[in-house]
Amino acid sequence: MDFVSFIIGLGIAQGVFLAAVLLTSIRGNTRANRILGLLILLFTVDMACVLLDYQQWYAKMPHLLMINHPQQFLYGPILLWYVMRLTRPESPFKPKYYLNLLPFVLTILYFASTFYFKSATFKIEYYEMWHQTVRFADFFWSLAHVAFNLCYFIVSIGLLRQHKFNIRQNYSYQEKITLSWLHHLLLMLMAVFIMNTIFDVLYLMQKPVPAAGPIMAVLMAVVIYAIGYMGWRQPAIFQDNEGKTHQPKYAKSALTTRQSRHIYEHLSQLMTTEKPYLNSGLTIKNLADRLNIPAYRLSQVINEQAGQNFFDFVNQFRIREVQNRLRDSYYDAYSILSIAYDSGFNSKSSFNTAFRKQVGTTPSRFRQQ
C-alpha cells in the first residue's frame, strides 16, 4: 500500500470512529450530533469507494461498485437539516422534509434496475466501460447532483446569516454560538463539490486528471477532521426557547410607546444599579425574567428605544465599565484584558472590536490618555 492509500485508509478509519462516536453519543445536542455522524459516514463511504477504485480492488469486490452514487444526493439535505437543528432546535421535523430525499430514492431505483442486481461479471465489464466511454447520462448525473447540493448549501448559508442576526438580538456574547466554523465549512464543501465537478467534466471530455480520485479523497479526509472536531465541540445554542425571542416586526405588537419607555427606564436603572452586564453569559431572557416581561417584548423595547440589538446594547455598558476602570488608579496594576474579562467580556477579539467601535481608539491608547 502506497502513501496515498495509507492517507485515504487513515481518513476512512477516522471517519468510522467519529461517525460511531457521534451516532451513539448521549452528550450535548444528541440530535444534531447524529445528523453530523451520518454526514461523516457518507464522506467515509465515498473515500472507501475511491480507495476501491485507486487500488483496483473492484475485480475482487464488484458488488461494492457504485454503492456511493445515490448518496451524492444526500449531502445537501442532511447538511441543511444539521444547520436547522442547531439554529432552530424548537422547530419539529415535518414529514414533508422527506421530499428532499426523492432524488436519492430515484437514483437508488435507477441503479437497482440497471446495475445493483446484475452479476459480478456484468458489473466489472460495465464499470470498465464506464471508465472508457462517455455517455450523456453520466454527464447529466455528474452535474445534477452538484447543482442539487449547491442549492442546499446556499440555503444553509442563508440560515446561518439569519442565525447570526438572531444571536445579536438575544445574547451579549457570540463565542461558540455564531456557528462561524459551519459557515466556513459550507464554503469549503462548495469548493470541494465545484472541484469535483471540474474533474468530472475533464474526465467526460476525455481529459482526465490522473490524481483526481486521491485528491478528492484527501480533501474529504480534511473535511471529516474539521466537521468532526468542530461539531463535537459545538454546544447547544438555544435553550428554554431562547431562540424564539427575536421578533423583527412589531407592527402587530400591543405595546404602546408609553409602555415601551416605561420598561426602558426600568431596564436602564437595572443596568446601572445592579450591573447584570458583568455576567459574561448574560442573555435577553435573563434580563426579561428580572423585569418580569417576555423576552420578545424586551427585545422590542431595546430595538425601539435604544435603536440597538441586545448584543450592542449590553456591550456599551461593558465598554463604559472598562473605561471607568481604566481611569481609576486602583486598577493601574491590572492588565487591560483582565479588566475586560471582569467587565463581562469573555473574548479578547470581541472586546477589542467593541471598544474600538464605541470609543474610536484602542484600549491601550485610551489608557495612556
Summarize pLDDT for 24-40 with one digit per residue, the tens: 887 767 888 888 889 88
Most confident segment among 11-20, 79-88, 134-143, 315-324? 315-324
* Helix H or strand E encompassing 170: helix 136-170
Q: Of 81-95, 192-206, 295-309, which range is least confident? A: 192-206
Summarize pLDDT for 106-117 with one digit per residue, the tens: 999 999 998 999
Predicted pLDDT at 77: 95
Enter the C-alpha cell of residue 298.
424586551
Mean pLDDT value of segment 231-236:
58
Distance CA 143, CA 161 (A): 27
pLDDT surpassing 50 at residue 79: yes
Closest CA to 82 of 14, 182, 195, 8: 182
pLDDT surpassing 80 at residue 1: no
pLDDT surpassing 60 at residue 147: yes
Residue 200 CB partners (closer than 8 Å, separation 6+): 142, 143
Predicted pLDDT at 85: 87
pLDDT surpassing 70 at residue 134: no
Residue 349 CB partners (closer than 8 Å, separation 6+): none
76 band by pLDDT with thresholds 50, 70 and 90: very high
Percent of residues, the chain, with pLDDT higher than 90: 29
Say how far residue 330 (Cα) sits from the centre of its chain.
44
Summarize pLDDT for 157-184 with one digit per residue, the tens: 898 888 888 787 777 776 666 677 778 7
Q: Of 12-16, 246-250, 326-330, which range is least confident? A: 246-250
To the nearest whole number, what is the mean pLDDT of the chain? 83
Mean pLDDT value of segment 255-275:
90
pTM of the entire predicted model: 0.70
Domains of the chain (ranges, CATH numbers)? 3-233 (1.20.1070), 256-368 (1.10.10.60)
Residue type, 357: K
pLDDT surpassing 60 at residue 236: no
Distance CA 194, CA 153 (A): 12
pLDDT surpassing 50 at residue 199: yes
Counting beta carbons within 10 angstroms of the beta carbon of residue 352, is it exposed (0 to 12), middle (13 to 18) or buried (19 or more)?
middle
